[in-house]
């Protein structure tokens, strides 16, 4: 949508957006189910480090239409709930546990001066020590991603906390954490009414005429320097914003890229809406417990002001969901699955996407956004990348 809007603003109007679904928004959509605002792609909150993205979103949906929250995110560790992230809040655990965690932290590889490892599991052990890894990081990540952590790359680790041993010890002794060190946004915006969908609707309003709904790209053929899509649409340029691995067959299963396409993987989620009483102010809670199917639970009424009280939704990896019985102490209202949720950072994925993009770009097929670039981008980053892409292309004439 941002690509479409920005190209049009730059004077390019011969655009057609193909959308497989019957409405716009993809993972950012929400639905009202029995009075509950359900973000059907999982928990969605708006924040950004890019001023131009704030300006872009707020120029379509006024800032007054949002509530601004200080994030209240928790982790269920053993039988206790503490603040996120674990390493900054070890002091909230019972004393015996706190001691065990601190011993493990000071034995970590970084503090002992050992070289920085290259695979994800070894890296988190090196950075945070064995106990945080075994009790939280490994089970949580394996639940979420659905792959073993030793098959994952380290290149997305800017997403996780970067505190060092001195800071962890300081927080424990002072019984408080420095929130400026948190890895993710500590504040977020959420629309006062209508869920995250309000943002989608505001952005889609002027683009609807350019979107062809219920049209899935199932065949892409490159003939005489032009692309033919689904045997009927012809164009010079195509911009892909869907998972590349889903385009392998539509692109004619290019043999020279088979190994690269195989490294492009994504997980799927099941989103389960429940009713359950709660009186706290938490926005969401991470659940590393391997015996529980879901990995995160969201307390909707605490961030969606117009949502009915006592609405909770759970995110579960779809494969786990299929294998385990969901045990949750609430009343199930509704369930919905996402087709593609997170790009999985398997080892080698960065080289693979680089090869794919470099192969297709000279042919006029580009990749932009979370899926087109196959990166763990939030919506704001995908918007930003779309803006930058349009600027680059317009500059090139
Ligand atoms: C659990 C979860 C939580 C998240 N939380 C946040 C958050 O808090 N804040 C935030 O900013 N971002 C968050 N994100 C990220 C955000 O959802 C994405 O960055 C954003 O949705 C990317 O938009 P997109 O249009 O590129 O892709 P998508 O939203 O995935 O949309 C892809 C679209 O392509 C369509 N499509 C797929 N295949 C085809 C085909 N062959 N032909 C035609 N159409 C096709 C689909 O129907 C879909 O509409 C979260 C994502 C997940 C999974």
Find, among 342, 369, 376, the residue nearest to 269 by Cα: 342
> Which ligand 1 atom is the nearest neighbour of the CA of 368?
26
pTM of the complete model beyond 0.85: yes
Distance 3 CA to ligand 1 centre (A): 14
Of ligand 1's listed atoms, the one at least distance from the Cα of 45 is: 8
The answer to whether 63 touches 196, Cβ cutoff 8 Å, is no
| Residues 223, 226, 227, 233, CA torsion sign | negative
Q: Give the pLDDT confidence score for residue 333 in this predicted structure.
A: 97
Burial string for 69-84 (b: 16+ CB within 10 Å, else e) reads: bebbbbbbbeeeebbb
Per-residue model confidence (pLDDT) at position 334 = 98
DSSP result, 316-375: EEHHHHHHS----SSEEEEEEE-S---B--BTTHHHHHHHHHHHHGGGTEEE-HHHHTTS
Specify whether the CB–CB gap between 331 and 274 falls below 8 A: yes
Pairing of strands 187-191, 66-70: antiparallel
**Which of 229, 283, 286, 378 has most ligand 1 atoms within 8 Å of its beta carbon, as the pocket-test mutant?**
378
C-alpha distances in angstroms, 35 versus 90, 100, 281? 38, 45, 19
311-317 and 296-299: which strand pairing? antiparallel
Q: Which residues line ligand 1 (CB under 6 A)?
A: 18-21, 26-28, 41-46, 216-217, 241-242, 246, 269, 315, 340-342, 369-371, 377-380, 382
Q: How far is the CA of 236 from the centre of ligand 1 (A)?
A: 25
| Residue ranges in the chain modelled with pLDDT below 50 | none
The CA 268 to ligand 1 mean position distance, Å, reads 12
Taking the centre of ligand 1 as the mean of its atom positions, its distance from the CA of residue 266, in whole angstroms, is 12
pLDDT of residue 159: 63
Residue 28 CA to ligand 1 centre (angstroms): 6
Minimum-distance ligand 1 atom for the alpha carbon of 47: 11
Q: What is the pLDDT of residue 171?
A: 94
The pLDDT value recorded for residue 183 is: 63
Pocket test for ligand 1, best of 6, 21, 27, 377 (most atoms within 8 A of CB): 27
Instruction: Please report the pLDDT score of residue 162 as a whole number.
Output: 73
Q: Which helix (H) or strand (E) holds 299?
A: strand 296-299
Distance 274 CA to ligand 1 centre (A): 23
**Distance (Å, whole) CA 134 – CA 90:** 15
> What pLDDT sits at residue 277?
97
């Amino acid at each position: 949508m941002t690509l479409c809007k920005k190209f049009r603003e730059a004077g390019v109007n011969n655009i057609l957006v193909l959308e497989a679904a019957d409405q716009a928004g993809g993972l950012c959509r929400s639905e009202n189910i029995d009075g509950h605002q359900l973000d059907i792609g999982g928990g969605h909150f708006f924040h950004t480090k890019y001023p131009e993205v704030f300006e872009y979103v707020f120029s379509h949906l006024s800032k007054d239409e949002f509530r601004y929250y200080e994030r209240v995110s928790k982790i269920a560790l053993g039988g206790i709930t503490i603040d996120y992230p674990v390493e900054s809040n070890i002091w909230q655990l019972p004393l015996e546990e706190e001691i065990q965690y601190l011993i493990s932290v000071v034995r970590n590889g970084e503090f002992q001066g050992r070289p920085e490892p290259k695979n994800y599991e070894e890296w988190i052990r090196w950075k945070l020590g064995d106990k945080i890894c075994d009790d939280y990081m490994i089970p949580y990540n394996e639940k979420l991603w659905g792959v073993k952590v030793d098959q994952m790359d380290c290149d997305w680790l800017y997403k996780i906390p970067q505190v060092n041993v001195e800071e962890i010890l300081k927080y424990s002794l002072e019984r408080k954490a420095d929130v400026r060190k948190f890895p993710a946004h500590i504040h977020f915006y959420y629309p006062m009414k209508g869920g995250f969908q309000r943002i989608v609707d505001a952005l889609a309003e002027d683009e609807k005429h350019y979107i062809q709904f219920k049209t899935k790209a199932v065949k892409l053929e490159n003939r005489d320097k032009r692309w033919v899509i689904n045997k009927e649409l012809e164009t010079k340029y195509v911009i892909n914003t869907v998972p590349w691995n889903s385009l392998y067959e539509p692109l004619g299963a290019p043999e020279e890229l088979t190994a690269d396409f195989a490294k492009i993987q994504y997980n799927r989620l099941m989103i389960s809406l429940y009713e359950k009483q709660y009186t706290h102010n938490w926005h969401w809670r991470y659940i590393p417990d391997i015996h529980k199917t879901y990995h995160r639970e969201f307390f909707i009424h605490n961030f969606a002001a117009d949502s009915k009280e006592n609405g909770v939704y759970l995110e579960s990896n779809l494969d786990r969901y299929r294998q385990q019985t969901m045990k949750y102490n609430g009343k199930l209202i509704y369930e919905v699955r996402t087709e593609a949720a997170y790009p999985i950072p398997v080892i080698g994925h960065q080289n693979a996407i680089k090869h794919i993009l470099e192969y297709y770009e000279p042919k006029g097929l580009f990749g932009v956004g979370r899926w087109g670039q196959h990166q763990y981008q939030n919506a704001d980053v995908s918007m930003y990348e779309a803006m930058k892409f349009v600027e680059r292309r317009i500059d090139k004439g």
